[in-house]
Structure 1
Amino acid sequence: MDHSSSDCLLNPGEVDYEFESNEVPEVYYIRHDWPLSVVDDELVPKVGMTFTTLEDAGKFYRNYAKAAGFSTRVRCTNRKGNEIKNQLITCSREGKWKSKISPTEKTNPTASLNCPARIYIHTLKDVGAWIISKVVLDHSHPCCPSKAEMLKQHRELSMSIRRTIENNDEAGIRPSKTYQSFVAAAGGHRELNFIEKDVRNYITREVRNVSEQEDTKEFGKYFLRMKEKNSNFFFELELEEDQSIKVSFWADARSRAAFEYFGDVISFDTTYNTNRYNLVCGSFVGVNHHGQSTLLGCSLMKNEEIESFKWLFQCWLHCMGENAPKGFLTDQCASMKRALEACMPTTVHRWCIWHIMKKIPSKLNGYKGHADIEQEMSHVVWNSHSKDSFDRNWNDFLLNFGLADNNRGVNCTISRVYYADLYEDRHIWVPIYLDHHFWAGMRSTQRSESMHSLFNKYITRNSSLIQFVKQYDNCLGSREQAERESDAADFHTIIPCATKSSIEAQFQDAYTHAKFREVQAQFRGKANCITRLKNFALGYSVYEVGEQLSSSIFNKFAVTYDSVAAEVKCQCLLFESRGILCRHALSVLSFEQVSQVSPRYILERWSKKVKRRHTHIKSSHDEPLMEPRSKRFDQLVFRSQNICEFASESEELTAILHRAYNNVMAEMEALKAKRKGTSSLSHEDANLESLTSFKACQGFEQEDVQKTG
């Protein structure tokens, strides 16, 4: 946008460039037809008004502009060295506007109409004041006081509003919701002196507008602050030559302590679109004693290459005291697989079965009846209760649908190669090959993905790094709070037993509510089981338990019971993989009239009685970096809330608080005025006599300008 008068070269008759203490500028008062009756006379600028500071003069003119129905802008400021000598403030519609955009492409609205309204302000050095030497009240356009509040200059975000916007943005509340909360609190849109666009602009300009280098620097400073607050906070950060992030990892003190109890099985997944630099976000997620997801570290990486994953996994192991988990779930990723083999050779690696099954439709393009293929494959995967049966069922499945091909040559289709590769890797994704290991109920990385979806509620591909890490802090806090609430419910309440079984009562006494409900589900399912003794010798029994799934479908499971060792084992491997006794084992224990299960079946991992160290550690939360004034403001607001709540109990108490407010306000204004100092003149006393006390006016124009002396 061009303004024809955008430079600071004014007509020689408009501005006097320097005034010593014994000189007074020529004073003009421009005639005008503006109906001053609509504006209080106290607000109208007059020649000779003086102010303590230049800011006070500008504020006075802005207040007049708001009352009159227009806005202002500083047109020109003349300096001598670092000192301001004079300033011209005009109506914002001053100047001539010329669009740089072709009218055939786009036309933008213009506000510039060469409006003459303005004031001139000069410094009076010896007096230490600022004087209005010329006033033009005429406008080249209509002014509307009722619409002035919608002009940008008169829309203002108070400190209280700004702090609320910042806090809501950090909490992930959308700007539209934040604005609507202001509207509701004020009693309508008209009661606010700002619009929703101001809220959005403030977030973009003040909260989010940082460069990548500045963002990375603040990201590193965050780690240092957290380390200073708690020495057990762990982080590693590698930067590129341009100071952008190459790879980073961090875990707070609570996550590191929680690993001691919940680090046996880890789900790890990566996602994009969490930041403006398209860094890959990876989260380490475990399962706590309530079956809830718990965060055990987070990473940001530039790529998903093998070396990046090696660096990350080694860093995570170092953070957790070189204690590798027993099980590790990931997506079907070759880079992760090779990195895990190198960094955690003793850890059982498992691919997310949900991702594998989800890819099947895309691998069956061109096959007729692909829905039948998908259904049959699912049946083979989930209903093969031994490795031998899976191998037989898988081969039959491939033969039935023409997917078998041992000669993986040129004519071998992509689908056949894919299924052949799946079979070769069956030991890292098929349940029957993995369920003899403990997985805490996890078979997929959906816990990690649910964490990422939680991030995505509050952050976007345009989010900065510091915004991301704050949302990660919020996620840590929400996970901590969920665990605390569940711990409190376990302590203060009890879930009644569904049966008369003393075994159920054992689990009721020991397990958290969430895990006891899983046990109860197995007790209810026991009603659908029929137990038959198949073999018995020297206290060792073999049972066949038939579970009725429907009126005509039964699944049969082999269950063994050793009465000497008090050990029961089922073919379904539910206890081995989830730590919950299955309905088939419970059916056999009932058949054997066992009243108490061995302590080996009551896992400490699910116990509500264990005192865990991490529960005494708060999750990391960064205190916002605020200016001293903002800190003082927050402290005052926090204290005043209790006072206001107490005073609101009655009219008498409210009146006491109002009187106290008035007294305190008067005292603060007096102190502020004393510190600021006062000039020998004020704009309230401006008149001809006050001007002549400095210097008699001289030299006045006669046409459009009225002589004041």
Structure 2
Amino acid sequence: MDTDIEHLDKECDKVGIDKEIDCDETIEEPIVGMSFSSVEEVRSYYMKYGKQKGFGVCKRNSRQDDDGNVRWICLACARGGTSKSKAANVMKPRQTEKIGCMARINARLNDEGGYTLSKVILDHTHVCSPGKARHFRCFKKVDARVAKRLEINDEAGIRLSKNFKAVVVEAGGYENVPFGEKECRNYIDKARQLRLGVGGSTALCNYFDDMQKRNPEFYYKIDVDNEMRLKNVFWADARNRAAYESFGDVITFDTTYLTNAYKMPFAPFVGVNHHGQSILFGCGLISNEDANTFEWLFESWLKCMNDQPPNAIITDQDKAMKIAISRVFPTSRHRFCLWHIMKKLPEKFGSHYQYEEIKNTLHKCVYDSFSEKEFEAHWGDMLDTYDLHENAWLVSLYSDRYFWVPAYVRDTFWAGMSITQRSEGMNAFFEDYVNTKTTLKQFVDQYDSALRRKVENEAIADFNSFNTKIPCITRYPLEKQFQKAYTIAKFKEVQEELRGLIYLTTTFLGCEGARYKWVVADEVQVSDNFLKRVNFTVEVDEDPLDVKCNCKLFEFRGILCRHALRILTQLGKDTIPSKYILDRWKKDVKRKYIFVKSSYDTSSIDDTRRYDRIQNAFYELCSNASKAESSCVKLISQIEQLKVQYPGIVDCDTSTTVDPVTSMEGTTGRVLSPLVVRSKGRPPTKRKVHPVEKSLKKSSTRRRLHRDEVEVPFY
């Protein structure tokens, strides 16, 4: 039955039934003997009549001869026939529109080649409502003009609910829209499927091949199993690769959050640019989260980046990642995500009767220890106080302390990234375009849209840094030096350090040769409403000018700390040595990647451009012809004639399908779509949650929402 209605809808589309039905036109009742020239005309007539009277229409039956010509056809009320309940519970039957209505018409092929009504039943066994007829499926149709707008809005990332509401507002109300939100959703789903023309991994391979043709610097690698089924894939475009030359000293890698319809974790390699924004260095989709898979992905990425490993890499606490990184990036400093570790506290100690005390003590041990010696002392006291020497989780954390404790990693430059908030932020960014139901063919299309937006955000930040400035908050000349050199985002960080000068007091300890030493007392906020007075040591060499602080903020974030700035201002220094103003944060440095045209910049579909050109040419013509009825009728007649000259054909030059095999090394045959996999990084949705964890979930979620563009605290 549903197939009949869909077939009828397609036939109605061909003859433009909706456009022909005029609410002011009166359709005469069908009678036996009425003649029509074709089956399409019979359908068109009965559809008009059904809409006028208020009932739906479907094709009940038909018969063809050996040549395929329709001998007779039966069109009936959509509420005819009977239905069998398919509900699993017979006590909860599903609703049905089938009530056995007998209203129908039969048409037979006559001697002239036309069709004559041979049987007509007008009486219905139900109430007909012309005002509600638009809700029947047979009358619901998304016209070409609205369909195009829906597609454009969908590509722009506008949610379908808002997309449909815009159509309703333009039409002047729901009653003027000949379709519903469900039809819009179905159309968009079909449009997404047809956008790339082919399915699954073939679409992915075709996309990669097309991107490589547009820009030879586009890189990708595909891993398949023995059955030629897609396992893992990695890709990076020319801009990603060029950006790595400028900002690839520190990267984050995370697979925790975003997946697609095949449950393949999305694995982005992310850095931070001169504005403190996340920047992509390539990404992958992987089928497993074991050491071998990570090793394949890391090796693919390293080869893409010309075998230049990063200085530092941040991941979550995953043993498989740790093993793979030690093999592929042996010279890179590896650090665990501090936030991922600390959020496990409710899971590990939520049932402990001293949970709150243990949590507060562990926080102080981690965040309040400013030296390795201090951390060791606090950690030992914690184990003794709560008798936790045998706790396996704490034992493993202590053995890995060089990978996550701030006191052990301050001497390495992390570009301000103390946790994997960059890769999490990139996941959150892509979530606007991609979700867990996204297929591979939809993924590659939406991926381009997301990257275009990311590039635009950076362009806006560049413009603002060159065309606006933030006023200085002090009279120190060195602040103006930072104001002139740094981007707005980084200058704000410098100003935050300058604001901290009011909390400092200094004590001169003396000098050894040309090296002077001070103790700078600072009030550090270590927890809510609690300030801790901490002494830092600042050493200064006069010639050449060199300043070092044991807080190591400059080594960690590349921003000179307030303690060093305090001493420099006390010494009357008007300028900062150039080595303390990093090129990485400067706004006037010409970076290679901004001149590289991305593959996705030119990935607009050619037929979309042609459609827009034709549509623009019609605007003025339609406006002029609509001023008089005669002109309107004449133009419509001419358009009907043009339809014959331009049928629905596909240009041979735009329908080429690429064999995905040409892009893989040592493989033959066609790549199959991946199997649905289960990744260990995402716990089951029905996992039991401790009450303590529930209470913490809301606050932790709020913090994660702002990680993409907001810099995290020092630790």
TM-score range for the pair, normalised by the shorter chain length? 0.7 to 0.9
Tell me, what secondary structure is at the counterpart of 1:282? strand
Tell me, what secondary structure is at the counterpart of 1:270? coil
Which residue matches 1:240?
225
Which residue matches 1:197?
182
Tell me, what secondary structure is at the counterpart of 1:231? coil
Corresponding residue to 2:166 among 174, 178, 181 = 181
CA change 1:282–1:47 in 2 (3 A) is same
CA change 1:640–1:328 in 2 (3 A) is farther
CA change 1:625–1:548 in 2 (3 A) is closer
Which residue matches 2:109?
122
Which residue matches 1:464?
439
Matching of residue 158 in structure 1 with residue 143 in structure 2: yes
Render the CA deviation track for 1:393-418: whole Å, top value 9, x for unaligned.
222222222223xxxxxxx3xxx222
Tell me, what secondary structure is at the counterpart of 1:611? coil
CA change 1:636–1:46 in 2 (3 A) is farther
Render the CA deviation track for 1:313-358: whole Å, top value 9, x for unaligned.
0001111111111110000000000000000000000000111111
Letter in 2 for 1:83: G
**Distance between the aligned counterparts of 1:608 and 1:112, measured in 2?**
73
Which residue matches 2:50?
65
**Distance between the aligned counterparts of 2:2 and 2:310, measured in 1?**
65
Matching of residue 228 in structure 1 with residue 213 in structure 2: yes
Which residue matches 1:493?
468
**Distance between the aligned counterparts of 1:622 and 1:60, measured in 2?**
49
C-alpha contact 1:171 1:471 (8 A) present in aligned 2: no
Corresponding residue to 2:369 among 361, 381, 384 = 384
Letter in 2 for 1:392: A
Which residue matches 1:635?
613
Render the CA deviation track for 1:392-443: whole Å, top value 9, x for unaligned.
2222222222223xxxxxxx3xxx2221221111111011211111101001
Tell me, what secondary structure is at the counterpart of 2:600? coil
- The worse-fitting range, judged by mean Cα deviation, of 447-456 and 348-357 is 447-456
CA change 1:347–1:194 in 2 (3 A) is same
Tell me, what secondary structure is at the counterpart of 1:443? coil
C-alpha contact 1:216 1:465 (8 A) present in aligned 2: yes
Superposed, 1:131-146 pairs within 5 Å as 131-134=115-118, 136=120, 138-141=122-125, 142-146=127-131
Corresponding residue to 2:383 among 384, 394, 398 = 398
Superposed, 1:360-371 pairs within 5 Å as 360-371=345-356
Matching of residue 604 in structure 1 with residue 583 in structure 2: yes
C-alpha contact 1:173 1:458 (8 A) present in aligned 2: no
C-alpha contact 1:2 1:98 (8 A) present in aligned 2: no
C-alpha contact 1:477 1:619 (8 A) present in aligned 2: no
**Distance between the aligned counterparts of 1:256 and 1:661, measured in 2?**
55
C-alpha contact 2:626 2:632 (8 A) present in aligned 1: no
Which residue matches 2:547?
568
Matching of residue 424 in structure 1 with residue 399 in structure 2: yes
CA change 1:47–1:626 in 2 (3 A) is farther
CA change 1:43–1:171 in 2 (3 A) is farther
CA change 1:471–1:38 in 2 (3 A) is closer
Which residue matches 2:459?
484
> Displacement of 1:573 after TM fit?
0.6
Matching of residue 548 in structure 1 with residue 523 in structure 2: yes
C-alpha contact 1:92 1:112 (8 A) present in aligned 2: no
Tell me, what secondary structure is at the counterpart of 1:494? coil
**Distance between the aligned counterparts of 1:541 and 1:2, measured in 2?**
87
Render the CA deviation track for 1:534-576: whole Å, top value 9, x for unaligned.
1212221111111134898421100111111211111111111
TM-score (norm 1): 0.80
Matching of residue 329 in structure 1 with residue 308 in structure 2: no
> Displacement of 1:295 after TM fit?
1.5
Corresponding residue to 1:375 among 350, 360, 365 = 360
Letter in 2 for 1:109: T
TM-score (norm 2): 0.80
Which residue matches 1:49?
35
Which residue matches 1:515?
490
**Distance between the aligned counterparts of 1:379 and 1:438, measured in 2?**
23
C-alpha contact 1:291 1:514 (8 A) present in aligned 2: yes
> Displacement of 1:228 after TM fit?
1.8
**Distance between the aligned counterparts of 1:229 and 1:45, measured in 2?**
63
Letter in 2 for 1:321: N
Superposed, 1:2-21 pairs within 5 Å as none
- The total of aligned residue pairs comes to 623
Superposed, 1:306-317 pairs within 5 Å as 306-317=291-302
> Displacement of 1:272 after TM fit?
5.0
Letter in 1 for 2:100: L
**Distance between the aligned counterparts of 1:368 and 1:675, measured in 2?**
78
Which residue matches 2:567?
588
> Displacement of 1:71 after TM fit?
2.5
> Displacement of 1:445 after TM fit?
0.7
C-alpha contact 2:370 2:407 (8 A) present in aligned 1: yes
> Displacement of 1:308 after TM fit?
0.2
**Distance between the aligned counterparts of 1:627 and 1:85, measured in 2?**
40
> Displacement of 1:369 after TM fit?
2.1
Which residue matches 2:636?
665
C-alpha contact 2:199 2:441 (8 A) present in aligned 1: no
- The worse-fitting range, judged by mean Cα deviation, of 231-240 and 162-171 is 162-171
Corresponding residue to 1:505 among 465, 472, 480 = 480
Which residue matches 1:22?
none
> Displacement of 1:170 after TM fit?
3.7
Corresponding residue to 1:91 among 66, 76, 79 = 76
| Superposition RMSD in Å | 3.4
Letter in 2 for 1:514: A
Matching of residue 289 in structure 1 with residue 274 in structure 2: yes
Tell me, what secondary structure is at the counterpart of 2:573? coil
> Displacement of 1:41 after TM fit?
4.6
Which residue matches 1:355?
340
Which residue matches 1:253?
238
Letter in 1 for 2:204: F
Letter in 2 for 1:616: F
Matching of residue 106 in structure 1 with residue 93 in structure 2: yes
- The worse-fitting range, judged by mean Cα deviation, of 460-469 and 562-571 is 460-469
CA change 1:247–1:2 in 2 (3 A) is closer
- Structure 2 stretches lacking a partner, 5+ long: 6-22, 648-715
**Distance between the aligned counterparts of 2:316 and 2:645, measured in 1?**
69
Which residue matches 1:531?
506
C-alpha contact 1:495 1:513 (8 A) present in aligned 2: yes
- The worse-fitting range, judged by mean Cα deviation, of 63-72 and 323-332 is 63-72
C-alpha contact 1:222 1:622 (8 A) present in aligned 2: no
C-alpha contact 1:279 1:302 (8 A) present in aligned 2: yes
**Distance between the aligned counterparts of 1:38 and 1:266, measured in 2?**
67
CA change 1:611–1:356 in 2 (3 A) is same
Tell me, what secondary structure is at the counterpart of 1:197? helix
CA change 1:624–1:161 in 2 (3 A) is farther
Which residue matches 2:600?
621
Matching of residue 214 in structure 1 with residue 213 in structure 2: no
**Distance between the aligned counterparts of 2:166 and 2:2, measured in 1?**
39
> Displacement of 1:625 after TM fit?
9.3
> Displacement of 1:664 after TM fit?
4.1
C-alpha contact 1:77 1:84 (8 A) present in aligned 2: no
- Structure 1 stretches lacking a partner, 5+ long: 7-36, 405-411, 648-652, 677-709
> Displacement of 1:626 after TM fit?
7.5
**Distance between the aligned counterparts of 1:552 and 1:94, measured in 2?**
75
CA change 1:188–1:93 in 2 (3 A) is closer
Corresponding residue to 2:425 among 444, 450, 460 = 450
Letter in 1 for 2:417: M
Letter in 2 for 1:636: I
Which residue matches 2:413?
438
- The worse-fitting range, judged by mean Cα deviation, of 80-89 and 155-164 is 80-89
